[in-house]
Structure 1
Amino acid sequence: MEPTSTPRHTDRLKATDPIPSSSPAFGTPARPFRMPKTYAPPTKTSILPILLPPSTLRPVAFRTFTRKHNLTISSPALQILAVFVGKNCGSGWREEGLAEKVLDETLEGSMSGGRVVAGKTTSSDGSSKVSGMGADVGRIDLNKDHSQGSLTSRAAGAEEDESQISTHPRNWLKVIEAFDLPRLTYNVDKKYFEAVKSKPTLFPPPSHKTALFRDRYNLVYQRLLRNESFQSSFSIAGIPSLQRSSSNIATQQSYKLTPIANLLGRSGTSHLLLGLLATSPTGDLSLVDLTGTVALDLSHARMIPEDGAWFAPGMIVLVDGIYEEEEMVKGSILGGNTGVGGAIGGHFVGVSICGPPCERRDISLGTGNRQGSGELSSSGGFGWVDFLGIGSERAQGTRMRRIQEKCLQSEPEATEATPPRLKLAVMSEINLDNMRTLDALRKVFSSYNDLALHERPQTFVLIGNFVQRAVINGGGRAGSIEYKEYFDSLAVVLSEFPALLQHSTFVFVPGDNDPWASAFSAGAASSIPRQPIPELFTSRVRRAFATANSELDRSQTSEPAGEAVWTSNPARLSWFGPVHDIAIFRDDISGRLRRSAIDTKADEDESDTTMHEALENDTVSMEPEPTEQVNGNRNDAVSPAALMARRLVKSVLDQGTISPFPLTMRPVLWDHSSAVQLYPLPTALVLADSEATPFCMTYEGCHVMNPGRLLPEGGLQNVRWVEYDVLRNRGKVREERY
């Protein structure tokens, strides 16, 4: 990274709302921008093998407690920790990294629900026990408590005695609305996520709009710097190389990003830029980062990978090319000077363009195995951050996995020949105003109703649009009365299968044509996240579940009653806390990408793509067959439908958001923009796109599924849906005739 020598903003300027000038897309103030400094190698200091002064241990404690876990430690607690580390780690507390590892693992075992529990620690087998070190750590003071929360009231009440917890898996299923997700923002200085303290509103100040894109850029930027291709590979005496042994890049070169403002006076030189694709008022394409804007020429650029992803305005991309100055440029008086809106003179000629490399979930959370060993990494990642409001991976992950194993072993039908299953049935574009839809749903429900109880899906996800045209907009065929009658008809079909209503959870996700947003959008893309369907239209469906549950005696079982959950779009499904995170989003995103994507006409022989190919080979892992399934068929990787599915998945997951578009194309509520983020990657993503072919494939450990349309176009009497196995993290497209 090329740092600049500009001073830091004063506290007085930070307290006010700065006027966007340097880079209007990100709201950068009209002051010189200071890029974050890279980490310097640790310096050697004198080490006491037994007696360790608290002042010597303070830097390590600061990195472990404050920077990593966002905690503060008092002086008495630091003194106790120094005695403990000096006594138990000896002279290897610094060189071998024993101090940081001990502090991190001890703190993890002593925390519960985001708070340090005095006298509580965790042994290697996962069981809780009391120790003197746990009591000492209990003296640490928390001044910020936003990263952990209670899983459910049942889990909080049974924290001390896991023998009293419920052993039915559906008790640990939670549907999380987008408006209930924690509102987190990435702090560049602390390199950590912080909770937004302001109350969300539909009419926030304009600064929240620029903060939306600035947070998205900061997330991609920090993710990119954590990639080994952008880390220095050097080896000094006593300091190991920063390059991992598993790297696929043979060269020891690390790639540097150049801020756009640093292009001034460097005409004819090649650079690698990270910025937001944007369209200028004149209609020309430009690239924007936190320091400025430059005109972009992609007429000679090559896309990496070739036809492997879409690049549209609103996306953050990596562009490799050459900067050329001009004497007179629109928006600039002289070439090389900063003009209106932070635009610098000249233009940047792109040689190649690619998306930022994706990051696996375990790497983002810092829970991946260290160099293939079974030992978990004790540094890096955001494992203590509660992204869903149900408990973080570090705080709840180990306990939830024990509970999951206990629940699965308690299943009476579970044997070695028939292992326990947790399945979801996902259906999309369920147009209830089409009479064929009810027959198709009856076919799907009857196919599962005939199965044994342990073979049925425990959750059915029904995704809109529930009508073919927008409701209550003056020009559609459905009004409020007709819309309610459609759900009344669905209630009649559901009442025919009381066994499913008694033992399953039904989740309903709205589309753009469903009320109330469609009353104002007339079927166009409404703002996201959007509220669930109002109870006004769903009373008959709820009554069907109440009637079915009243016919079953549950006094002898711990199984919860079947229920219908009406949630937002997008939404999250959490099973066993942070162990299984399933994101659901309904949007015709592939069609929007095809309409807005940029097109380059570069000859492959004219571009040098060595850097991008190395970066792609090091980070991209679209898993091979048979984990991919497109249009219900396996071994279909060369078909156009499979290539388009891969292109869609890579375009979305690389951006780390489910809405990589300008707000004019896909409106997003500014104060709820964190709900559309895909960082860290969920374990599974249901991307319901009615314009794309149904598919199931895995990319960087995230399994992406598109159930497509429930009734395929073409007049065939077929019904399509996706069946997802939660434990195996694999889905398959199912198709039957009705």
Structure 2
Amino acid sequence: MANQARQRAIIKVFRKYSHSLGPDALEFLERVLDDHDIADEDVEASIDMLAKEYNKQDDAKMKVTLSVLQRVYEAAQEQGDPTSRHRDVLDPDSHIHLINAFDMPCWHWSTERGTFEQHPGVLTASGSADSRVACIRDRHHIIKQCILRNEHFAPSTLPSHDRERLVTLRSTKQLLGRFGERFLLLGMLRTTKEGNLCIEDADGTVVLDFGKLDEPGDGLFTEGSFALVEGLYTEDSTLEIIAIGQPPCEPRDISRSIYGHIDFLGKGSTSLLEDAQHTIRIREDLSDLHLFFLSDVWLDHPQTLPGLEQLFKNCVDNSFIPKIIVLCGNFSSRSISQGSGSEVQLYQEKFDALADLIARHPLIARTTHFVLVPGPGDICANSILPRRPILSTFFTRLKSKVPKLHLGSNPCRIKFFNQEIVIFREDTMARMLRNVRGVKPNVETNDLKKFLVQTILDQAHLSPLANNIQPVSSDYDHALRLYPLPTCIVLADKYDRYKLTYSGCHVFNPGSFIGNNYSFSAYKPAEMNSEECILDVQSDEE
């Protein structure tokens, strides 16, 4: 690799973390690569490690300081191979944290500082006019700063032919008087009072004309979602669309390398080095650890409790005890959020029956963490997102017989070592399809599943819909945010089950537990992958 090519590779890596290099720092890094005989194909990976560690330093500046860079390099040399150190026995229970939506700290994007700032005030369930505006602006700024870091948008500091392929993001205020010119805009899709679809950014709106668009890009385009649109500005003050697509998704490792010092979950931040160590330890020491996820656990259905009984029996007989079992609602086959007294009484009795069932398997009751997540039809203190846990009065017997019981909000998160698992119980596919404003024609079922996952992750939000379609508490909108990208997302839905990995994030839907067979999903942290499971009660096989 020629010197200029190496320089471009080094600058590209540091630019990814919003840093620029002076001649002295660039020369130092080239010398480090030469001293360690780094092969051409390993240059970016090696420099990336130094750039990540530099970015975490308290005195790190946007223009890389040579003294700080040298300190980072020396510390990396002293640290050596983290896998060669003495290792204590891992205790997975001490690294399991359930984070409810209402316990997550609220971080807003600061345009002045170009980073996140923690909200200083008290959050309320009703929200305020300011918070309703702020949550939309936060979504816009988070997506925009990810786009500007993307390799197709970030210009190189060295002369390169790549500049010809770069795309420049514009604002609606730059359209004024520039008829016939081509623009690329980022904004939220919404409907005007006249019923026209428009795109809105921080500076204004422009009506979209889809007359000459062959077909949109991949994904589901709904009102309330953000989109990248490219088109010609016409004399009618509309944008004649040439192409429309989802904003690019930023992988978790890039976001963590920039904002790893921010404690988004409220359980303490970890360094990238600690994350790497945890990944190795989980893979080596906890290779058989599993988490079970069940959805639509209708306790009033005659087949549900026998199915759970068989599941627990199989686990005990095969010495295969899951560390966590997540049960998602609805916990009744009929919505009882406003049910009669007799229906509420039956609801209570079924949870008591579940407690007795778990207690009949002491090993599971004693060692397994049970997480209960409400569905849209369960009895909660509120009906908008995020939903509070099911009222604790229903779980008196469960609490007495299951010591590791956790009542989760919807959505909620599990932090397991360095992994973040988001659990969301909502009929997301049906709601998105009912409100879609653009999708490719003749889409098959498998494509719809892929488009749904892509849209949710590209939007960095669990509910990319207008507030009149899916009401969300504006003060707690950050609890639905998917930034940095989680390790795994459970989109529990009554729709067909699926699993796929997108931008390094594993997403799956365990499907309804009750059906022709008892279906659920088992997630394996060591592989960051899930397995679709079916319980056959007749043959006693899982």
CA distance in 1, matches of 2:387, 2:215: 34
Q: How does 1:117-196 map to 2 (within 5 A)?
A: 123-126=79-82, 167-196=90-119
**What displacement does 1:208 show?**
0.9
How far off its partner does 1:510 sit? 0.8
SS of residue in 2 equivalent to 1:538: helix
Deviations 1:212-250 (A, max 9, x none): 1000000000000000101224625xxxx696xxxxxxx
Does residue 705 of the first structure (1) align with residue 508 of the second (2)?
Answer: yes
Say yes or no: does 1:211 pair with 2:134: yes
- Give 2:480's aligned amino acid: V
CA distance in 1, matches of 2:144, 2:71: 29
CA distances 1:351-401 after superposition (whole Å, capped 9, x unpaired) = 2110001111111122xxxxxxxxxxxxxx22222221222232xx53465
Residues of 1 paired with 2:233 and 2:422: CA distance?
40
Q: Does residue 469 of the first structure (1) align with residue 305 of the second (2)?
A: no
Q: Which has the larger radius of gyration?
A: 1
Q: Distance in 1 between matches of 2:231 and 2:314?
A: 56
CA contact (8 A) 1:258 1:273 kept: yes
Structure 1: segments with no counterpart, 5+ residues: 1-38, 50-63, 79-93, 110-120, 130-161, 244-250, 327-345, 367-380, 412-418, 519-525, 547-562, 603-637
The code of the aligned residue for 1:641 comes to: T
Q: CA deviation at 1:323?
A: 1.0
- The offset of 1:724, in angstroms, is 0.9
Over 3 Å counting, the alpha-carbon distance change for 1:601 and 1:457 in structure 2 is closer
Native 8 Å contact 2:216 2:439 kept in 1: no
Aligned length: 496
Assess, with a 3 A threshold, how the Cα gap between structure 1 residues 651 and 485 changes in structure 2: closer, same or farther: same
**Among candidates 121, 138, 146, match of residue 198 of structure 1:** 121
* Structure in which a larger fraction of residues adopt helix: 2
Secondary structure of 1:435's counterpart equals: coil
Distance 1:122 1:383, change over 3 A: farther
Q: Measure how far apart 1:516 and its partner are.
A: 2.3
Counterpart for residue 398 of structure 1: 273
Aligned to 2:402, what secondary structure does the other structure show?
Answer: helix
Using the size of structure 1 for normalisation, the TM-score is: 0.62
Contact 2:279 2:526 in 1 (8 A): no
Is the Cα–Cα contact under 8 Å of residues 283 and 527 in structure 2 kept in the other structure? no
Greater RCO structure (CA 8 Å; 6+ sep): 2
CA–CA distance in structure 1, aligned partners of residues 210 and 341 of structure 2:
45
What are the superposed Cα offsets for residues 119-177 of structure 1, whole Å, 9 maximum, x if unpaired? xx972344999xxxxxxxxxxxxxxxxxxxxxxxxxxxxxxxx98x7632222111111
Matches within 5 A, 1:19-418: 71=58, 98-103=66-71, 123-126=79-82, 167-233=90-156, 235-236=158-159, 252-305=164-217, 308-326=218-236, 346-366=237-257, 381-394=258-271, 397-399=272-274, 402=277
Unaligned runs of 5+ in 2: 1-17, 29-50, 538-542
Pairing 1:571-720 to 2, within 5 Å after superposition: 571-576=412-417, 579-599=418-438, 640-690=444-494, 692-712=495-515, 716=516, 718-720=517-519
> Aligned in 2, Cα 1:166/1:183: closer, same or farther, shift over 3 Å?
farther
In structure 2, give the amino acid aligned to 1:101.
Answer: L
Verify the 8 A CA contact 1:260 1:293 in the aligned structure 2. yes
Equivalent-residue separation in structure 1 for 2:440 and 2:521 (angstroms): 38
Runs of 4+ aligned structure 1 residues displaced above 4 Å come to 39-47, 67-73, 103-106, 126-129, 400-409
Tell me how large the CA RMSD over aligned residues is: 3.4
Deviation at 1:189, TM superposition (A): 2.4
8 Å Cα contact 1:506/1:565 also seen in 2: yes
Q: 1-side partners of 2:485 and 2:23: how far apart?
A: 37
Deviation at 1:422, TM superposition (A): 1.9
- Percentage of identical aligned residues: 31
Deviation at 1:736, TM superposition (A): 2.7
Aligned-pair CA distance for 1:696: 1.3
CA, structure 1 residues 294+710, in 2 after alignment: closer, same or farther (shift >3 Å)?
same
Aligned to 2:35: none
DSSP 3-state at the match of 2:221:
coil
2:24–2:66 CA contact under 8 A, matched in 1:
no
Alpha-carbon distance in 2 for matches of 1:659, 1:101: 41
Corresponding residue of 1:432: 299
TM-score by length of 2: 0.83
Residue 314 (structure 2) aligns with:
447
The one-letter code of the counterpart of 1:730 is N
Q: Post-superposition shift, 1:406?
A: 5.9
